Amino acid sequence: QEKETARQWFEDAGDARNENNDTFGAYKGSNVLVVQVEAFMNFMIGKEIGGEEITPNFNKLMQESLYFSNYYHQTGQGRTSDADFSSQSSLHPLPTGSVFVRYPDHSYDTLPQILGQNGYETGAFHAYEGSFWNRINMYKAMGYNHFYSKKDFKMDESLGWSLGDKSFFRQSLGFMTKEQPPFYSFLITLSSHHPYSLPASVRQLDTGEFKDTIFGNYLESIHYADAALGELVEGMKRDGIWDNTILYVYGDHDNSITDKADYEKFLGKSLNELDMHQIMNQVPLLVHLPDGKNGGIYDQAAGQLDMAPSLLHLLGIPSDSYYMMGNNLFASGNKFVVLRSGAFTDGKLYYIPSPDNVFENGSCYDLSSREKNDIEKCRVPLEEVKKRLQISDDLIMTDLIPELRNNQDIQDR
């Protein structure tokens, strides 16, 4: 019965994702460069401090890119590894622990594997110990041709935990442009990692009243990561790959700074439960297409699970036969985004679970008025939330994908 429920769910979701519109296959054969930025949150995009932009390079890039202003991280305890797993496999992370550590030997339909089967050279890049989050084993299982870890980089810019993002991008570009195109490259940054204590020599932002607080240091780190992103774009242009590469940049998770007073001071307004929940769960997503088309602000609800099916859509590879749970950002239809905590939004409603996980004790908001709704409005969609999380957990923990695929093949014969 559980398997039949899962099979049926994936069949329906696959149909909903498939849409043969203008963007399907519009960038077939392009390189794809994905950057997952450490602790990169959405609340300071486009914002200034003392008249200076926090993320000037990202803001500039937005003018010729698709910027998703309601993109959610869907991570759990596995933090950076969860963001990676959910984005690449379009499944939810686990309620406890990290899939990378607990089930690296189970089967998933991952973006590097699928692109590898479609003629792409695939590489993961992260200038830290290869064993952290069990990446070395997981990346092999995910089908990457290469994993460039700390040992492959020259430590010519030491910052925080490891190599600075500027040098990391410069050296990563050097590695990937030696490959035969098309390539799929996944870069994970690190310089904006907690506790955000960059040396004075690279601090470029005057954070005023936040100076020497963790919140101020966070803004400084993001300002540095943004400068590195600007250099990456310049490097891509210099190396002649800007016009044939899809650039997909997103944040992995929140910054662990939970004091509401910091955000209220920074944003200059008082914040309610809904505001704070969105601040802590939204990360930016920017997609730059090779021809610079379709730029603008997209405010539909979206999340990390949407990355794999959406990139496959742009490349003209249908995703309906894959066991993926995310939406296609480029298809029409309702978008439903489920967070690991059991929170959800469909762009109209927003449910925040209570710590005791009793439905009635949670909050059901109307996003247009930003006021609390009758809780009952969230009851039915919450059943779908539970169903999705359960299907995802079963798939991961009992290694269900090969079995479902086998049964499907038998039925199709």
Q: Annotated binding residues, as ranges?
A: 38, 80, 193, 252-253
The SS3 of residue 192 is coil
**Cβ at position 101, least distance to ligand GP9 in Å:** 11
Residues between 155 and 194 with contacts to ligand GP9, criterion CB under 6 A: 188, 190, 193
80 included as an active-site residue:
yes
Residues 6+ apart with CB under 8 A from 30: 182, 244, 245, 246, 290, 314, 315
Kindly determine how many residues on this chain lie close enough to bind ligand GP9 according to the rule CB under 6 A.
8
Kindly state the smallest distance separating residue 337's Cβ from ligand GP9, in Å.
21
- 183: three-class secondary structure by DSSP: strand
Least spacing, CB of residue 282 vs ligand GP9, in Å: 17
- Binding positions for ligand GP9, 208-237, rule CB under 6 A: none
Between residues 85 and 103, which has the closer beta carbon with respect to ligand GP9? 85
Q: Which of 17, 58, 92 is nearest to 287 (CA)?
A: 58
- Residue 80 binds ligand GP9, judged by CB under 6 A: yes
The token pair at 370 is 């930003």
Task: Please report whether residue 132 would count as binding ligand GP9 according to CB under 6 A.
Answer: yes
Please give the residue whose beta carbon sits closest to ligand GP9 in the complex.
Answer: 79
Alpha carbons 127 and 322: distance in angstroms, whole number? 31
Among 7, 17, 73, 79, binds ligand GP9 (CB under 6 A): 79
Q: What single string gives the DSSP state of each residue in 106-168?
A: S----HHHHHHHTT-EEEEE-SS-TTGGGHHHHHHHTT-SEEE-GGGS---SEETTEE-HHHH
Annotated binding site for substrate: 193
Q: Which of 344, 351, 327, 255 is nearest to 43 (CA)?
A: 255
Interface characters, 20-59, with ligand GP9 (x: CB under 6 A) = ----------------------------------------
**Nearest residue to 110 (alpha-carbon basis) of 292, 304, 308, 255:** 308
To 10 degrees, the CA torsion angle through 310, 313, 319, 323? -10
From 124-132, 289-297, 330-338, 405-413, span contacting ligand GP9 (CB under 6 A): 124-132
Given the residues 80, 122, 245, 345, the one annotated as active site: 80
CB of 157 to ligand GP9, least distance (A): 17
Distance CA 96, CA 86 (A): 14
Tell me which residues are annotated as active site. 80
Residues that bind ligand GP9 (CB under 6 A): 79-80, 126, 128, 132, 188, 190, 193
